[in-house]
Amino acid sequence: MSWIDRLLGRERDEVALALYNGVIATARAPHWYETGGVPDTLDGRFDMVAAILSLVLLRLEGDPSAGPASARLTERFVTDMDGQLRESGIGDIGVGKHIGKMMGMLGGRLGAYRDGLAAGDLSSALTRNLYRGVTPDAAQLAHTQAALFALRDALAATPATALIDGRMP
């Protein structure tokens, strides 16, 4: 990578790209939508990305070997959402407002998922944030909760360097 690329921040983007692509691939797994009942809509897909991204950010939080990966991953999320909003026809003036709202939503989810993981129960956080207040079928909720706890455990067992390289469990 050239010094111009590093100066323009492209190196930062590349570092986070592999991990972000892993987050997206995990969030796109069909079981979330088919077995877990997550709505397969624009909002549902955003909520699933936010859930997976939250777990990854929580995993990297406080891990000294992760370095600035959390910040770069969050920047990558913002870049992607900016592009998605523009592609959907939202103009320059509206993009900033929508990005601010999305970052607030991500922050809220981080707190809700952190608390739910610590308590060993994600059901209320999932109903509020992933299912947008609509109580899912008990089997769907159980599937999604179990899969997220399994992902949390797999992330904990994966070295930060492997995650940063995009090797999602």
- Condensed to tens digits (0 to 9), the pLDDT of residues 68-118 reads 888 888 888 777 766 665 666 666 666 667 666 766 777 888 999 999 999
Q: Higher-confidence residue: 101 or 65?
A: 65
Write the CB contacts of 131 (distance below 8 Å, at least 6 apart in sequence): 37, 38, 39, 141
Q: How confident is the model at residue 1 (pLDDT cuts 50, 70, 90)?
A: very low
pTM (two decimals): 0.84
Give the pLDDT of residue 122.
97
- pLDDT (average), residues 110-137: 95
What b-and-e string marks burial along 96-108, b requiring 16 or more CB atoms within 10 Å of the CB?
Answer: eeebeebeeebee
pLDDT above 80: residue 151 = yes
Mean pLDDT of the chain: 85
Residue 143 has pLDDT above 60, yes or no: yes
Q: How far apart are CA 82 and CA 64, in angstroms?
A: 29
Q: In percent, how much of the chain has pLDDT > 90?
A: 54
3-state class (DSSP) for residue 3: helix
3: confidence class by pLDDT, cuts 50, 70, 90 = very low
Q: Give me the mean pLDDT over the 58-71 stretch.
A: 87
DSSP state of 165: T
Model confidence at 7, pLDDT cuts 50, 70, 90, reads very low
Quote the CA–CA distance of 162 and 34 in Å, as a whole number. Answer: 29
CA–chain centroid gap for 68, Å, is 16
Query: Higher confidence at residue 148 or residue 2?
Result: 148
- Closest to 36 measured CA to CA, from 21, 20, 52: 52
